[in-house]
């Protein structure tokens, strides 16, 4: 079977499973809303990074992104749906590529819209504090935010395929994002700069003093994502549906 009809069928699944469009809606709403709140509250901070403040809604918003990626895969393990999918598309690698693309495309579109809305809303709250941001920095932040959230959704999809469970995936990823990066991270030295979430979020800063630059950080996140997807493909090919 050709790739296009497989991709079409996977996109159709995402549209028809109610929780998946809901996760994308939450991604947009949470990212924009929390950035707007940060824009109003951040004007009194003398060490304000206006770009990160304007896009800080990505921190809670990424939970919706990883939930979307994990649930899109875990739905295949309910009621033997994966067996039906693989019966229609015996080439497991092609099916998984279509699944990953069907996750990536809507996530990227919604994430770009969410990051643009977040920037506009937060800039209104920041006022003169954001006046120094250049157009290039703002474009880099919006595009980087969209790419980062898409990579995190795919990272979750790869882990969900490996673990064969959305619950197990979220039980690992959400504490990792909320606890390891923010509670343990600052005490862990430069190692934390290479964690998938912290590395990718460098692109959201106007200036950053860490080990990685904006695009190098996204490249590190992309490597983590590629490893997770590779592990997912290995698991899919080695284990029964």
Cα separation, 231 vs 227, in Å, equals 6
Give the pLDDT score at 187: 61
Identify the pLDDT of residue 128: 80
pLDDT of residue 104: 97
Residue ranges per domain, the chain?
3-238
Both tokens assigned to 19 = 């929780």
How high is the pLDDT of residue 3? 87
- pLDDT for 186: 60
Cα–Cα dist 114/82, whole Å = 31
pLDDT score recorded for residue 43: 56
Please state, in angstroms and as integers, the Cα–Cα distance from residue 93 to each residue in 96, 224, 232, 234, following that order: 5, 19, 10, 9
* Nearest one of 148, 134, 187, 130 to 31, comparing CA atoms: 148
Dump pLDDT digits (tens) for 111-150: 999 999 999 998 888 878 777 888 999 999 999 999 999 9
Q: Give residue 69's pLDDT.
A: 96
pLDDT along the chain (241 residues), means of 10: 86 89 95 88 68 91 96 86 81 91 97 95 82 89 96 96 91 85 64 86 86 91 97 86 56
pLDDT of 68:
97
The tokens for 189 are 């030295």
């Amino acid at each position: 079977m050709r790739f296009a009809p497989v991709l079409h069928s996977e996109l159709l699944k995402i549209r028809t499973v109610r929780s998946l469009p809901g996760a994308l809606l939450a991604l947009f709403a949470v990212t924009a809303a929390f950035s707007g709140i940060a824009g109003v509250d951040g004007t009194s901070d003398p060490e304000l990074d206006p770009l990160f403040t304007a896009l800080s809604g990505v921190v809670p918003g990424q939970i919706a992104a990883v939930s979307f990626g994990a649930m899109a895969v875990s739905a295949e393990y309910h009621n033997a749906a994966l067996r039906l999918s693989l019966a229609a598309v015996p080439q497991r690698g092609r099916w998984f590529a279509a699944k990953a693309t069907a996750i990536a495309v809507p996530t990227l579109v919604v994430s770009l819209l969410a990051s643009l809305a977040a920037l506009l809303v937060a800039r209104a709250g920041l006022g003169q504090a954001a006046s120094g941001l250049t157009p290039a920095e703002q474009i880099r932040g919006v595009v980087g935010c969209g790419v980062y959230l898409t990579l995190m959704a795919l990272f979750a999809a790869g882990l969900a395929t490996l673990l064969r469970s959305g619950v197990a995936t979220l039980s690992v990823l959400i504490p990792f994002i909320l606890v390891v990066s923010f509670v343990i991270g600052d005490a862990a030295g430069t190692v934390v700069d290479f964690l998938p979430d912290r590395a990718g979020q460098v692109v959201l800063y106007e200036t950053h003093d860490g080990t990685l630059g904006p695009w190098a950080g996204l490249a590190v996140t992309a490597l983590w994502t590629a490893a997770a997807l590779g592990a997912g493909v290995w698991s899919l090919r080695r284990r029964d549906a």
